[in-house]
Amino acid sequence: MNGAHDLGGMHGLGPINPEPEREEPIFHEEWEKRALGLTLTAGWLGQWNIDISRFARERQHPVAYLSNSYYENWLTGLETLLVERGVISPEELAQGKALKPTPVELKEKCAPASAVQSILSSGGPCDMATDDLQEFQIGDKIKVVQFNPTGHTRVPRYIRGHEGMITNYYGSFIFPDENVQDNKIGQHLYNVSFDGNQLWGKGNDTTIHVDLWQSYMEPA
């Protein structure tokens, strides 16, 4: 969807002023550690996947999204999913405590503390085979499809409708636009380079690279 989470290349929002890499802490406040931990832990309950989680953050009101800090947006998305999926009730969220016993089937999905390190270090592979034909090869010129989806997508708005060139092919991976609907299908994934002058006008002499799934593109 087009929203406050996708502001690349937009005018009028002022400069980006990131903290120097050597000085920026991983967490600015202690509560941010807990927000990250709660989000990862709740994901093990199996009630949603990573793209559903991203979309829960993205579909906030733009004012709320831009007003929140990074981990405030994470926490808001988690609260949304916990209520929508029936893990907790709105009343439990408001009061900050459980008002009924946790279902046994959810308790059984919780990982023991001793397993957390190995689970996090192993990651979550998202490669998935597909029978679809690989339509593009390295060196091919492509054009990104111009579309304005109402659901989750991984296509930055500023490259839609623009031309680029395939620079790498990774294989086939879970397609986010379907995964957000709990439909797991594989699709070919590529890296595509774009000329900054084409994206933002003359004087932007830079090249950017974006990973794109096959259905986001068509031959140039």
Give pLDDT, residue 107.
84
189 inside domain: yes
Burial class (CB in 10 A: 0-12, 13-18, 19+), 190: buried
Residue 157 is part of a domain; what is its CATH number? 2.30.30.50
135 inside domain: no
Same domain, 36 and 114: yes
Give pLDDT, residue 22.
75
Chain Cα centroid distance, residue 176: 8
6 inside domain: no
Q: Give the structural domain span for 79.
A: 30-122
Residue 84 is part of a domain; what is its CATH number? 1.10.472.20
Side-by-side strand order, sheet with 207-213: 207-213, 186-195, 163-174, 141-144, 217-219
Give pLDDT, residue 148.
94
Give pLDDT, residue 18.
76
- Looking at 72, 89, 122, the residue that finishes a domain is 122
Please tell me the distance from the alpha carbon of residue 142 to that of residue 149, in angstroms, as a whole number. 20
149 inside domain: yes
Comparing C-alpha atoms, which of 75, 51, 2 is closest to residue 184? Answer: 51
Same domain, 46 and 88: yes
- Number of structural domains, the chain? 2
36 inside domain: yes
22 inside domain: no
Give pLDDT, residue 162.
97
Which residue ranges of the chain lie beneath pLDDT 70? none
